[in-house]
Structure 1
Amino acid sequence: MMDPHTSAQDVMRCDLCETSVVQMHCDTCLVNLCTACVGKHMISDESKDHKVVKFQARKSTPLYPGCKFHYKELCKMYCNQCDIPVCHKCIGSDQHLGHKVSEILKVVDERKNKFMKEQTELNETIYPTYQDIASDVQNRMSQLQKEYGDLSTAITKHGEDWHREIDKLVKKLKAEVDEMKNTQLQTLQKHLDEINKTMSDIKDEIDSMEITKDTNDFSKLFSVTSKVHTYRNLPHKIIPFLPKFIPGKIQVENLRKLFGALPSSSLTSDKHGYSMKTTQKSPEAGSSPPVKQLLDEPETVTTIDTGYRELYYVACLSDEEIWTSGNDKTMKLYSINQGSLLKSITTKSGNRPSNIAVTESGDLVYTDYFYRTVNIVKNEKIEEVIRLQNWGPKGVCSTSSGDLLVIMDSDDNIQTKVVRYSGSTEKQTIQFDDKGKPLYSPCSRYLRYITENKNHDICVSDEKAEAVVVVNQAGKLRFRYTGHTPAPMKHPFCPLGITTDSQSHILTADFDNNCVHIIDQDGQFLHYIDCGLRYPLGLCIDTNDNLFVAQWRNKQVKKIKYLQ
């Protein structure tokens, strides 16, 4: 038989007698009572105002907070200005004179409704989002384990390849030693054979003389011809030359370079990396930018003459103003609508800029390859942000997170890399693919252009490789775009200036074909823009997705509309 006090299926019992069925509830003390125990409970603590109701109506009695300033008074109102519950005596005091006061029950209902909405948001949107984030992090950790395992395997395999090649080299060198030894031994053996023969001849000569010198037959004596004078000419002395093994000096740093480099790993934090899960009950969630279609025939909106002998770079300051740079030390700000020069800035070193960009806050950034600096212009004053050693900075762009991406060439002209900076602090280096091969072609004489896509991919135009190289935010190669045929001028792809738009399209200037390629974020060709371009170099996009093209030959910037 079930114990009525422990059975989960038994009805609820009175908290006082623990035997009778619950019929009442004290909302003040939160105690369950039977009818018989109500009186006993009421006199158990006469200091409290016990609110006893039917069990079905429990928690229906409002429990007003006691006033902190007036003894035994209950706060049934709420001062909106002071944001605290108040009693009727508080309302009449000077402390709350003129303040807006509401019934506390109304404020409680509003707060409960707010909590219900927030609870719904936590349950249906925020918590599921965090679940997805946790799953994403776990997947990244699993993938990281696999990729680092693959990395270690690749290094081990490369080491085995090296060991095999070293074994082959050792075997070849030892074979060469054996060949040289055998050649020299054969030569010495032949020489020894000749000496032994001569010694035999000398012995015969001695014996012949011994017989002849004691003879009385003078005819025999005169018939013997001595060869002593021949033997006085001693043979040449053959001295073998023993080659000495000169081991190459093992320089660990050079050995590491020859074996293969392992660039430093990095972890970046992107405040825009996760997005809240969207549901019908959370209309506040962000939306994607509106889809814009490509025009069948892009059109030139306006043309700006810059006055440079050669024009290289253009950067949008706003929808009304653009910065330009060319073959001299001056960077010029132009009005787009008026085509007039608004401002000129001269580089600190007197060198021409190696590239220009505009930060999220509207400051001009330029690189100085020969001075090895990255500089920022604030209030027309130039500040040196980054100074490099053994590297020359070329292309530069400002990211959505406020970082700077700089592509640079080594002084020995054999390495190229992209470095991410937060201020003057290096955060990330991008130089090699998963197989340890360089991502970018080294060549200091080429112009360098770089941009960040809306999906945080890093896009670089590699003129020497005739490709656009796109890596993700972590620096992993996504794809290489090598052009599209037929090209307008039927020349090889010559990518230079590069930019992106709100649709995550990647646009790159094809210098030799006098056009701009439009590709999607996955590297698929979409369209050409020509519009009578003459050797396009620098590119930039304004907030309305208008394209600006810096033309090297005619020193003009063209504003082109290519999206609907």
Structure 2
Amino acid sequence: MHPRRSAQEVLLCDLCETVPLQSHCELCNINLCVNCAVKHLSDSSKRHKVVPFLHRKSTPNYPECPDHVDKHCEIYCEKCGVPVCSTCALFGKHKGHDVSDILEKLSAKTESLQKDLKELETRIYPRYEEMVSNVQTEKAELETNYGKLTTDADEQGEILHREITAIVNQRTSAIEEMKTKHLDALNKNTDEITQKITELKQIISDLKSILKSNKVSLTSTYKSRNSEFKTIPPKVRVTVPSFSPQKINKDQLNEMLGSLSPLSIKTEHGYTKKSAEAVSSPPVKPMKSVEAVSSTPVKPLLDDPRLTATIATGYIHPYSVSCLREDQVWTCGDNEIMKLLNLQSKLLTSIQTKSRNELGDIAVTRDGDLVYTDYHDRTVNLIKNNKIQIVITLQGWDPRSVCCTASNDLLVTMISDDGKQSKVVRFSGSTQKQSIQFDDQGRPLYSSGRYPRYISETRNLDICVADYDASAVVVVNQSGKFRFRYTGHPSNTELSFKPYGITTDSQSHILTAECDNHRIHILDQDGQFLRYIHCGLKFPWGLCVDIRDNLFVAEWVTAKVKKIQYL
């Protein structure tokens, strides 16, 4: 709309922009006042058609024919793919070409444009805004993150300085002690020689007195001691110690200071045509989008997933599973014991909870240690070298599910004591870094109630929660901003969608267990349904994937964990 016009103002002439309009030229598709209409009609180069504004027709603004001045292109040439006028179509260079009604083409094009506009406004543009927001957040955290790196390096340098100073002090003390011993040895040697010299002086004096006195008695009784003094006292020889400085190896110093991982800057794939098609219909293959990591090899979904192993857990009801290796999984169930099992169901290790109470959930850290939640004593615990350490103790909240992130943080779902609030909290060690509870409008992201809310993080760092009470999978981005909510496939008319376990794979697929309908839902990273995994499952509950994207499913009723290949 013209900047000087509004819904309350009179519409003005398109030419002079000062006088209210009264007429409309259907050829030129412009609005005119009385004076401008007269001037407009005086142009004899075109067949203008000026009508009262209220009687104007809603006609498209046809392009003018470049070869015929008074003609408009109202026909579409199928062969050349361009609008043409009737003269060109009948007698000109488009003669004999297949033509069609341009309005039909216009209608199809308009529909395509509307689809593009809808997709741009609802899917593509918000993602770019989200990317900008994430980058701004990352930029805001630069000073803190790099400041910590600098502080850590400085602290390590101070430790090295202290160690070197201590070693230098030890060396100088040893040198001083050696110097004292050296001096003592020389002093002792000097004392012995000085004593001999004193005796010699006395003997020499005595001999001179005897010779001077001429006394026979003194001369006859004299006994010589020359032989005694002919043997010179031993001289103490002390070698001054030498200091052999080692050549300073800068590489070793660097190693002692600690290593700094390289800065990794990866370019991520942008929005693709395939993701655009997802707006109108569910895709049959996983889509790439803005967050797809370029280095990840594409693994298509199998049409028929295969069961490759079955593990007997020994529980009555197992409900969590977490991979330690491709052939070893941690499990927990309806008691206080956590079990490490191999694919042959052999028990490798078992650990009892510190409180002797049934635990909530388990997860394996990037270092291979086990984490578990204990909602009885409100703790999150780390098992390292078979020793249990309490990492987090909560007040007023019960921890439920836990997962380990790509940055080795812990994401914990928790429920308030009164069961009326739920949230997700990120911890680095025992320090709370983030709390996710409400959307931008202040509404709760997660439902209340005490059913488990299993959690997982995708490769693009989205946080996914299987909210049983809400009958939805709720996904937020790394900053905690709401992305989407998946409530089951529209074709599901059997039972209401109730998600239990949840996990993600290298393709950023989201997999969630629908226990009551005996199947796994596979979604892409934008929440689009891809397909189900059935594979003879019976009440699937807990889920995890290994490093090769094999799916492990803990079955509630059969007390088994099943390994499934689906990629």
TM-score, with structure 1 as normaliser: 0.50
